[in-house]
Amino acid sequence: MGAIIAFFIRVAGYGLLVGAPARIANYFWERIGLDQVEMLRAPHDQAVIVLIAATLLIALVGYGRLRQPAIFIAFYLAGAALTAPFAFARFAPTVG
Protein backbone atom coordinates (compact mmCIF):
# COMPACT_ATOMS: atom_id res chain seq x y z
CA MET A 1 0.00 0.00 0.00
CA GLY A 2 2.86 2.36 0.79
CA ALA A 3 4.39 1.86 -2.66
CA ILE A 4 1.14 2.89 -4.35
CA ILE A 5 0.90 6.04 -2.25
CA ALA A 6 4.55 6.86 -2.98
CA PHE A 7 3.87 6.37 -6.70
CA PHE A 8 0.94 8.79 -6.64
CA ILE A 9 3.03 11.33 -4.75
CA ARG A 10 5.77 10.98 -7.39
CA VAL A 11 3.22 11.39 -10.20
CA ALA A 12 1.87 14.54 -8.57
CA GLY A 13 5.34 15.94 -7.91
CA TYR A 14 6.70 15.29 -11.37
CA GLY A 15 3.41 16.45 -12.86
CA LEU A 16 3.81 19.80 -11.13
CA LEU A 17 7.49 20.00 -12.00
CA VAL A 18 6.87 19.40 -15.71
CA GLY A 19 3.29 20.68 -15.96
CA ALA A 20 3.77 24.20 -14.60
CA PRO A 21 6.51 25.13 -17.11
CA ALA A 22 4.47 23.48 -19.87
CA ARG A 23 1.50 25.72 -19.07
CA ILE A 24 3.78 28.80 -19.00
CA ALA A 25 5.26 27.73 -22.35
CA ASN A 26 1.76 27.28 -23.76
CA TYR A 27 0.93 30.83 -22.68
CA PHE A 28 4.02 32.17 -24.50
CA TRP A 29 3.22 29.93 -27.49
CA GLU A 30 -0.16 31.63 -27.89
CA ARG A 31 1.11 35.09 -26.97
CA ILE A 32 3.84 34.99 -29.62
CA GLY A 33 1.27 33.74 -32.14
CA LEU A 34 2.82 30.38 -32.90
CA ASP A 35 -0.56 28.67 -32.62
CA GLN A 36 -1.45 30.36 -35.93
CA VAL A 37 1.48 28.79 -37.82
CA GLU A 38 0.28 25.59 -39.49
CA MET A 39 3.68 23.89 -39.80
CA LEU A 40 4.27 24.15 -36.04
CA ARG A 41 1.04 22.51 -34.88
CA ALA A 42 2.23 18.92 -35.27
CA PRO A 43 5.50 19.40 -33.33
CA HIS A 44 3.63 21.28 -30.61
CA ASP A 45 1.00 18.57 -30.26
CA GLN A 46 3.66 15.86 -30.17
CA ALA A 47 5.63 17.75 -27.52
CA VAL A 48 2.58 17.98 -25.28
CA ILE A 49 1.99 14.22 -25.59
CA VAL A 50 5.66 13.53 -24.84
CA LEU A 51 5.53 15.71 -21.71
CA ILE A 52 2.46 13.88 -20.42
CA ALA A 53 3.92 10.44 -21.16
CA ALA A 54 7.33 11.37 -19.74
CA THR A 55 5.77 12.48 -16.47
CA LEU A 56 4.18 9.07 -16.00
CA LEU A 57 7.31 7.21 -17.10
CA ILE A 58 9.55 9.25 -14.80
CA ALA A 59 7.20 8.55 -11.89
CA LEU A 60 7.29 4.82 -12.65
CA VAL A 61 11.07 4.53 -12.60
CA GLY A 62 11.98 7.54 -10.45
CA TYR A 63 12.67 5.84 -7.14
CA GLY A 64 15.69 4.27 -5.49
CA ARG A 65 18.89 4.50 -7.50
CA LEU A 66 17.13 6.15 -10.45
CA ARG A 67 15.70 9.03 -8.42
CA GLN A 68 18.49 11.51 -9.23
CA PRO A 69 18.44 10.82 -13.02
CA ALA A 70 14.64 11.07 -12.98
CA ILE A 71 14.78 14.48 -11.30
CA PHE A 72 17.40 15.61 -13.81
CA ILE A 73 15.27 14.46 -16.74
CA ALA A 74 12.22 16.21 -15.29
CA PHE A 75 14.13 19.50 -14.96
CA TYR A 76 15.54 19.02 -18.46
CA LEU A 77 12.03 18.60 -19.89
CA ALA A 78 10.81 21.63 -17.95
CA GLY A 79 13.63 23.74 -19.39
CA ALA A 80 13.01 22.45 -22.89
CA ALA A 81 9.31 23.25 -22.57
CA LEU A 82 10.05 26.79 -21.41
CA THR A 83 12.51 27.58 -24.20
CA ALA A 84 10.62 25.89 -27.05
CA PRO A 85 8.29 28.81 -27.91
CA PHE A 86 11.21 31.20 -28.24
CA ALA A 87 13.26 28.78 -30.34
CA PHE A 88 10.31 28.07 -32.65
CA ALA A 89 9.55 31.79 -32.94
CA ARG A 90 13.09 32.43 -34.10
CA PHE A 91 12.95 29.86 -36.88
CA ALA A 92 9.27 30.02 -37.79
CA PRO A 93 8.06 31.87 -40.86
CA THR A 94 6.49 35.26 -40.26
CA VAL A 95 4.50 35.05 -37.07
CA GLY A 96 1.60 37.22 -36.12
User: What is the sign of the dihedral through the CA atoms of 93, 53, 70 and 8?
Assistant: positive
Residue 76 scores a pLDDT above 90: yes
d(CA 75, CA 89): 22
pLDDT digits (tens, 9 = 90+) for 26-46: 999 899 888 888 888 888 889
Residue 94 scores a pLDDT above 80: no
32 and 95 Cβ atoms separated by less than 8 Å: yes
